[in-house]
Structure 1
Amino acid sequence: MKRVVRGLPYLFVVLIVLLIVEFPHGLIRPNTSSSQQPVAAFHWAQYSQNMANLLHGLITCSLGRTLSTGDPIPPLILKTAWQSIALMSLAMLFVLLIGISKGIYDGLQSSRKSTGFVVSTSIQWVLEALPSFFIIISCVTLSFWIQARYHTQIYLIGATSFWAGVVFPAVILALAPIFTMSRYVRNAVEAQYGQPYLVTAHAKGLSQFKVIIRHLLPNCLATVRMVLVPVLASVFSGLILIEYLLYQHGLMFGLFDAMGNDGAAPSYGRPYLQQGIFYSDFNNFDRNLVLGYLFALVIVFFLFYFLIRGMLLLLGDRSVANPYGSILRDSAEANGRDWRGLVGISMIALLVLAAILANHLGLPSPNKIDAIHISGDQMTTPPFPPSPGHLLGTDAVGRDLLSRALHFTLPTFYYVGITALITVAAGAVLGTLSSVAGWRWVRLVVNTWNGWVTVMPGLLGALLILEIPTVYFAGLHMLPNGNSFYWSPVRSVIVLLVLGVLECGKVAFTVQHVMDDALSKSYMEAAVIVGNCRWSAFRLHLRRTLMESVIEQVLVEFNQILVLIAVLGYFQLNLRPAWEKIGWGTWIFTDTSHDLGGLFSQNAHDFLSAPWVLLAPALFVAWSVFSLNLILESIHRRLNTMPRRSYARQPQAIGDGTSISSAGPSID
């Protein structure tokens, strides 16, 4: 019975996903060549019919046929699944081999200031802080430059060779999970360091390699098993951008194609007004195919999960880690000058200062058009590659991308900052009510909410919601002269609200976990014994813990929302889009919010032919994320590391293997 109750939140998550997918996406008329439909074509009768068709498919165990060609869905999914399985298999191999090896090395070397340890941790800091889409865009731009400079053929987009089409995407896909795995394994190794069984093994004359293989590694496998789900979730999340940016026809690419995303144009075409009703061109949203791909992704996820669990059992997973406490020791990271916070603050201050002084840096105006270049008998048109006149190149119109990115930085920070603050505030309230107040229904909501965002990557959830026509066209207006269709600020509020809702569950769950951990401390038991009620104890002992967690979560959510806005822009889902008429019958898709996500959306359709058009906004997003991650690491270190002390002054172990410490509550 308890298992059934624990499974209810996940069943609720599945129901939410089904309701979103089955939401009407326009009037489906597959037998006609025209896809122009009213933008407000929602009818409850159609929604009911969609749910009835879904129920019939579940009863008959049939996925149906595709909307465009009428082909059976299972063979199409199986055809595309092998590409994703190949990428994920190689990526998980890298994660297990490199991640575990790096974690063991860092754990053994963390008390020393060796060159290898400094290099290892420095590489992790840099690559872990850089968004994967920035690495992809940089590599594609570099390959494009090498082709033009040395006349060699290096194709990363749509590559079919083994190295460029499998190994390179797998390496990019494995970067973030490798560092996640190594961090957890390192903590496990540090917990085992100095324990009697390791000292005895060394005293018997066993080499370091044999001690690691026979004793240390088996005790780390329990940690690998516990972190397996978030690592797989990270791989699936990275698979979204890998397949879409590099044009790899796998499960994620097929899912987005079934949703009507082709990467070259918005999901919905230019609207127009006819007899007081807005119409638009609708891309086909094949709900049966979307459900088929989602179902296939779930199967692949559990396939990898149980396969790796079996491998861990064969390697000697003991299901529980070694129970004995380890001797406290100095950490190389906890000593010395904290340069990360200073560097991070300097980087973000430099970016903000450059954005404020953008008009005084000698850069071209953000709207100045460089229409043509003539060199001898050759004439070229934009987009122009990076050059001394345009350091990061120009867009397809001829506008300087560095100047535009600088001018769009402060509005982006404003949107992201407000959203992050509101999201963290709401999550902190829910987490506190769930833990401190002990409201069970709030805990159920928080756990269900977190289950939703754990199962569904934030980007995929945002796309499924924001591409619903009723949501997409909210706030649509037309100028009286008919030369522009634009969206009101309501559109920005809706997009930011969706992102906040998707992130709030994780914040609430994190705060709930932090407060639960603090409530279990002995000093909280003492506070209750002396007569303090829950809220008095919270005010006296837990308020600081909550504020520390909130500060960390604000920085984390700022980065998360910033990256989501940027990536959604690549999918043509910016905060305030607009269609502007620039000539007879010529319309362009632009934005009026002037943020970095809008800069992504304006240039996404030119990425295949001129990859540098996305380099400027990607660089600014990566710069911001990297600098804030440095600040976050510095704050986390100050809040969670113990002061340096000699071994003679370390707390002495007591009977049950625990130790007496004056350290405050931890938020790990």
Structure 2
Amino acid sequence: MTRGRPSGGSRTTAVLGVLAGLALLLVVLVVLFPGWFTPYPPERTDLRNVLQAPSPAHLLGTDQLGRDVLSRLLDGTRLSVAIAVFATAVGVLGGALIGLLSAIAGSRADSVLMRGVDVLLAFPELLLALLVVAVIGGGVVNTAVAIGIAAIPNYARLVRGQALLVLRSEYVEAARMLGVHPARYLVRHVLPNVSGPVVVLASIGAGTALITASGLSLLGLGPRPPQADWGAMVADGKDFLQLAWWISAAPGAAIVLLVVVVTLVGRGLQARVLR
């Protein structure tokens, strides 16, 4: 019996997954070692080279203060990615806690928790994050927390559904009949079965967190100047679109590309988990 050859679509997906993984590795290197890649100090101003178009000296041009856009873009990768990762962690931890409590609690507690989750799901994540920022204030940490809180309902729903499937399985019922402590089968059976889908959703949700963080920065609710952040860079260039489009175009393209890369990695993980 011969093994069938992979289809053209499968090969294309595999190639895209490898390329996305390599691109994500490059992003990690930029985040960990930004000084290796930045040709100029990100905050250095040069009023003699204001709004210079892309050239060999400045590959992505300069902004309204003469700062090198490429250097600021690479330096801003660290802050933008950190906000997205921290926000995703807040969403995963909060959602997992609520989802597990809802799954193991009684029907009344489950109903109350899920009705609250349904109310939060009625709001778009960006709007919900705006509401949270309006309450707790802006800044790097508050922005990440706000985005994470806005993402909690999605993870709570997923964890609850997966946990209920495992808790209703025959081997968990057998463990209950044998008198196994609930904490033991939660750790040995429920959490391992829940972790796979959660990792997949988190990898895709990190892209959404990045977009939301950039949107908040664009509105002036993110990191404070002079910190380099992709959303703030887009906002810096919005008043110079006709004279210096590259100021906003470079970080905007970076946001789109990183979201695509993260989504491709998440889809690859999803295909492996569901295989």
Question: Structures share a fold, TM > 0.5?
Answer: yes
RCO higher in structure (CA 8 A, sep ≥6):
2
Measured against aligned partners, the alpha-carbon deviations of 1:239-276 in whole angstroms (never above 9, x if no partner) come to xxxxxxxxxxxxxxxxxxxxxxxxxxxxxxxxxxxxxx
- Count, aligned residues: 272
TM-score, length basis structure 2: 0.81
CA contact (8 A) 1:364 1:403 kept: yes
Query: What is the match of residue 228 of structure 1?
Result: none
Query: What is the match of residue 364 of structure 1?
Result: 40
Matches within 5 A, 1:119-198: none
Residue 405 of structure 1 deviates from its aligned partner by: 0.9
Q: Does 1:602 align with 2:247?
A: no
1:390 to 1:427, Cα distance in 2 relative to 1, 3 A = same
Letter in 1 for 2:164: D
CA contact (8 A) 1:432 1:512 kept: yes
Q: Does 1:415 align with 2:83?
A: yes
CA contact (8 A) 2:207 2:262 kept: yes
Query: What is the match of residue 265 of structure 2?
Result: 631
1:573 to 1:518, Cα distance in 2 relative to 1, 3 A = same
CA contact (8 A) 2:197 2:270 kept: no
Q: Does 1:494 align with 2:162?
A: no
Letter in 1 for 2:196: E
Query: What is the match of residue 445 of structure 1?
Result: 113
Query: What is the match of residue 29 of structure 2?
Result: 353
Structure-2 separation of matches of 1:527 and 1:608:
68
Structure-1 separation of matches of 2:111 and 2:227:
37
Structure-1 separation of matches of 2:222 and 2:226:
9
Structure-1 separation of matches of 2:243 and 2:221:
21
Matches within 5 A, 1:401-550: 401-438=69-106, 440-453=108-121, 455-464=122-131, 466=133, 468=134, 474=137, 491-532=139-180, 534-550=182-198
Instruction: Classify the secondary structure of the residue corresponding to 1:386.
Output: coil
Residue 592 of structure 1 deviates from its aligned partner by: 4.0
1:524 to 1:343, Cα distance in 2 relative to 1, 3 A = farther
CA contact (8 A) 1:419 1:500 kept: yes
Instruction: Classify the secondary structure of the residue corresponding to 2:149.
Output: helix
Structure-2 separation of matches of 1:449 and 1:421:
18
CA contact (8 A) 2:129 2:149 kept: no
Instruction: Classify the secondary structure of the residue corresponding to 1:388.
Output: coil
Residue 565 of structure 1 deviates from its aligned partner by: 0.8
Structure-2 separation of matches of 1:544 and 1:464:
34
CA contact (8 A) 2:236 2:247 kept: no
Query: What is the match of residue 250 of structure 2?
Result: 616
Instruction: Classify the secondary structure of the residue corresponding to 1:364.
Output: coil
1:593 to 1:440, Cα distance in 2 relative to 1, 3 A = farther
CA RMSD of aligned residues (A): 3.1
Structure-1 separation of matches of 2:75 and 2:108:
47
Structure-1 separation of matches of 2:248 and 2:188:
50
Q: Does 1:394 align with 2:70?
A: no
Task: Please identify the structure whose Cα radius of gyration is greater.
Answer: 1
Q: After TM superposition, what 4+ stretches of structure 1 lie above 6 angstroms from structure 2?
A: none
1:557 to 1:114, Cα distance in 2 relative to 1, 3 A = closer
Letter in 1 for 2:255: V
Q: What percentage of aligned pairs have identical amino acids?
A: 24
Q: Which has the higher helix share?
A: 2
1:437 to 1:344, Cα distance in 2 relative to 1, 3 A = farther
1:362 to 1:612, Cα distance in 2 relative to 1, 3 A = closer
Q: Does 1:557 align with 2:205?
A: yes
Measured against aligned partners, the alpha-carbon deviations of 1:461-498 in whole angstroms (never above 9, x if no partner) come to 333554x5x75xx5xxxxxxxxxxxxxxx743333222
Gaps of 5+ in 2: none
Letter in 1 for 2:22: S
Measured against aligned partners, the alpha-carbon deviations of 1:192-212 in whole angstroms (never above 9, x if no partner) come to xxxxxxxxxxxxxxxxxxxxx
Q: Does 1:384 align with 2:52?
A: yes
Structure-1 separation of matches of 2:266 and 2:76:
24
TM-score, length basis structure 1: 0.37
Residue 358 of structure 1 deviates from its aligned partner by: 4.1
CA contact (8 A) 1:437 1:534 kept: no
Gaps of 5+ in 1: 1-110, 126-337, 374-381, 475-489, 577-590, 642-668
Instruction: Classify the secondary structure of the residue corresponding to 2:199.
Output: helix
Residue 500 of structure 1 deviates from its aligned partner by: 1.8
Measured against aligned partners, the alpha-carbon deviations of 1:611-630 in whole angstroms (never above 9, x if no partner) come to 32222222332333233223
Residue 567 of structure 1 deviates from its aligned partner by: 1.8
CA contact (8 A) 2:38 2:74 kept: no
1:465 to 1:425, Cα distance in 2 relative to 1, 3 A = closer
Measured against aligned partners, the alpha-carbon deviations of 1:502-554 in whole angstroms (never above 9, x if no partner) come to 11111111111221233343443444444445444323322211222332343
1:366 to 1:536, Cα distance in 2 relative to 1, 3 A = closer
Measured against aligned partners, the alpha-carbon deviations of 1:179-233 in whole angstroms (never above 9, x if no partner) come to xxxxxxxxxxxxxxxxxxxxxxxxxxxxxxxxxxxxxxxxxxxxxxxxxxxxxxx
CA contact (8 A) 1:405 1:616 kept: yes
CA contact (8 A) 2:91 2:152 kept: yes
1:457 to 1:610, Cα distance in 2 relative to 1, 3 A = farther
CA contact (8 A) 1:340 1:630 kept: yes
Q: Which has the higher strand share?
A: 1
Residue 113 of structure 1 deviates from its aligned partner by: 5.1
